[in-house]
Amino acid sequence: MNPANLSGPILIVEDDRNTAALVTTYLQREGFTTLEVHDGAQALEVARREKPGFVILDVMLPGMDGWEICRELRKVSEVPILMLTAREEEIDRVLGLSLGADDYVVKPFSPRELVERVKAILRRMRPVASINTEVLQHDGLTLDPEKHRVTVDGETMALTAVEYKLLYALMRSPGRVQSREELLNRLYDHGETVIDRVVDVHIGKLRQKIADDPNEPRYIHTVRGFGYRFADEEG
């Protein structure tokens, strides 16, 4: 059985079998179903066949590294991805997020912390809870909270849960500048430690999907040194 109504098992991609077994043990204690693979090529094959509901992905793997696997998975799926990295450099974390990972954990890590990170990502996947079901619109961009759907000029956009929440937060308050910290608190509201640039990475990917040129923005405006605001009637 999988908590949180996951559509499939958690796929653990880790070449260190002891680490993979430890992660498996802690996840299964929480009721999750898991699969283990130990190299990159096998990871993609199993992911295509088993359609996991979540992926825990080590960066350093034989054959194909975690960056490439993440990139390939994102071409065909919005499955949540948690990266495991042995390096603490910010650039590595930002790279993973820019490729479409939802979060990262630095090795060595506490298995309990990893399980909590998984749960936190699953919480962020839940639809935005709001009594206000008013459809939000601006210049061809429409967000329908009741249907949990975003369209641009009539075309439906495939947004991740994080991208949807960011867009919803910005569109709900057009013209108001929201700091990176404020937006982070909307995404990571259970005490996770994250870096400010996480917001920039997610905003960048959101802009790509809704065809919003940051140099001539229709929707999301950058307020340098502070954060972002959604366009109001005056632009």
Residue 227: per-residue pLDDT: 92
Amino acid sitting at position 219: Y
Q: Say how many domains are in the chain.
A: 2
**Structural domain contains residue 225:** yes
pTM comes to 0.66
Query: Do 97 and 145 reside in the same domain of the chain?
Result: no
Query: Hey, what are 17's tokens?
Result: 């079998």
Last residue of a domain, one of 125, 159, 187: 125
pLDDT tens-digit profile of 90-148?
A: 677 677 777 888 888 889 999 999 999 999 888 877 655 555 678 999 999 999 988 88
Q: Can you give the residue range of the structural domain that contains 182?
A: 136-230
Q: What is the CATH number of the domain that holds 176?
A: 1.10.10.10
pLDDT of residue 196: 60
CA 31 to chain centroid, in Å, comes to: 22
Mean pLDDT of 21-27: 96
Report the pLDDT value the prediction gives residue 45, as an integer from 0 to 100.
93
Which pLDDT value is given to residue 68?
93
Kindly report, residue by residue over 26-55, the tens digit of the pLDDT: 999 999 999 999 998 899 999 999 999 999
Is residue 110 in some structural domain? yes
| DSSP symbols for 85-111 | ES---HHHHHHHHHTT-SEEEESS--H
Tell me what pLDDT residue 96 has.
76
Cβ–Cβ < 8 Å for 15, 39: yes
Contact status, residue 2 vs residue 33, Cβ threshold 8 Å: yes
For 211-230, the pLDDT digits (tens) are 999 899 999 999 998 899 99
Domain boundary among 102, 125, 148: 125
Interior/surface letters 24-37, b for 16+ CB within 10 angstroms, e for the rest? bebbeeeebebbbb
- Of the candidate ranges 158-167, 178-187, 192-201, the one whose mean pLDDT is the lowest: 192-201
Mean residue pLDDT of the chain comes to 86
37 with 105, same domain: the answer is: yes
Share of the chain above pLDDT 90, in %: 55
**Phi and psi for 26 in degrees, rounded to 5?**
-70, -40
In a domain, 150, yes or no: yes
pLDDT above 70 for 6: yes
Task: Give the model's pLDDT for residue 155.
Answer: 94
Find the CATH number of the domain harbouring 29: 3.40.50.2300
